[in-house]
């Protein structure tokens, strides 16, 4: 998830790219995470954690002098946990992974 240190690092990169005169800026930010643990009954107990600060962060990048032009998202699977079900056949599955946001900015037009 987007920590304060990571946000500061990415904002620093945005400022440096703007100072250099780069026409485009591309940032990658984890926007949510799928976690969970198998229950004692063998069922899935998934939980989706949202990163509520992404919108604020993107606004801060625009304040540097960039304009958001394109976004893309991908689920990055990091595995699963399975467990046998107690009362029935089969297994319970808990998936793990993160949704990555890819944000492309164009240098804002100067007036």
pLDDT band at 39 (very low <50, low <70, confident <90, very high): low
Distance (Å, rounded) from C-alpha 62 to C-alpha 98? 25
Mean pLDDT for 89-102 is 81
pLDDT band at 96 (very low <50, low <70, confident <90, very high): confident
Q: What average pLDDT does the structure give for the chain?
A: 86
Distance (Å, rounded) from C-alpha 76 to C-alpha 81? 16
Residue 26 has pLDDT above 90, yes or no: yes
What is the extent of the structural domain holding 29?
Answer: 4-107
Mean pLDDT for 68-94 is 79
For the chain, what percentages of helix, strand and coil (3-state, to nearest 5) are there?
25, 50, 25
pLDDT band at 5 (very low <50, low <70, confident <90, very high): very high
**Total number of domains in the chain:** 1
Residue 83 has pLDDT above 90, yes or no: no
60: region left, alpha or beta (phi > 0 left; psi from -120 to 50 alpha): alpha
């Amino acid at each position: 998830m987007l920590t304060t240190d990571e946000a500061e690092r990415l904002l620093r990169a945005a400022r440096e790219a703007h100072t250099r005169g780069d026409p485009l800026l591309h940032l990658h930010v984890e926007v949510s995470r799928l976690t969970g643990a198998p229950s004692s009954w063998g069922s899935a107990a998934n939980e989706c954690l949202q990163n509520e600060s992404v919108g604020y962060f993107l606004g801060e990048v625009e304040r540097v002098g960039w304009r958001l032009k394109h976004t893309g998202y991908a689920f990055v699977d990091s595995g699963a946990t399975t467990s046998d079900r107690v009362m029935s056949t089969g297994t319970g599955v808990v998936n793990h992974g993160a949704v990555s946001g890819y944000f492309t900015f164009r240098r804002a037009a100067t007036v």
